[in-house]
Structure 1
Amino acid sequence: MLDPKKKSELKDLILSTIEEVKEEIKELKELTKPIAPENAIGRVSRMDAINNKSINEAALRQTEVKLRKLETALEKVGEEFFGLCGACGQEIPVGRLMLMPESVFCVQCAERRR
C-alpha cells in the first residue's frame, strides 16, 4: 500500500499533469480547426494540411482519453486500494505510478492486455 506521503506526491503530480494535458488539448483543438477552402494554398499543400489535421485529430482523441484517465486517478488517489493492479491486485510500482499516474495495471498485466 502507498503511504500517505506518496499518495500526496502522486496527487500533486496528477494535478500538474492534468493542467499540462488541458493545455495540450487546447493546442490540438487549434490545430484541428477546419481548413477553409478559400485559403490560397496549393493542392499539395492542402493535402498536407488535411493529413496533418487527421494526425492532430488522432492525437487529440488520445489526449482526451488520457485526461479522463487522469481525472479518474485523481478521484481515486485517496482511496485505500489506489495503486493496486486492477487485474491481479498486486501493488503497482511507485515508479510506474510516477511516470503514468493514470495506470490501473501493473506492468505484467498491462503487457498481457495488449
Structure 2
Amino acid sequence: MTTKKGTKVLTELLNIQGIKVTQRSQLQGIGIILQVESTERESHCHHCGTKSNRLPQNPRYVVKDLSGGKQPVFLEINRGQFKGKKCGKPFSEKLDFVNNRRT
C-alpha cells in the first residue's frame, strides 16, 4: 500500500495530464503496478455530444508503460464509464495516453 504523499509523488513522476496514482504495488517476477484513475468526473458523449456524469461501474485495464529501472511498469487504469444523456448509449472515457488497442 502506498501513502497519500507517495501517490502524489508518483502522480508527479508519471506526469500524465488528468491522471492520478491511487496505489502502487510490486509483484515479484512481474514488476511495478501503478493503479491510476482520471481526475475528470464528466465526459462528452461521442454519439450525441451531451455532457455526462460518471457511472458507478469502472472496468480496469492494464497497459504496459516504460520500464522503471530493471523492472517493467504497468498501469492499471480505472477507466470511467458514462452514458449519453440524449442518446442513452454507454461509452468509455477516452484516454489520450492509451492506444485504442491498449498497448
**What TM-score range do you get, normalising by the shorter chain?**
under 0.3
Higher share of residues assigned helix: 1
Higher share of residues assigned strand: 2
Greater relative contact order structure (CA < 8 Å, 6+ sep): 1
TM-score by length of 2: 0.24
TM-score by length of 1: 0.22
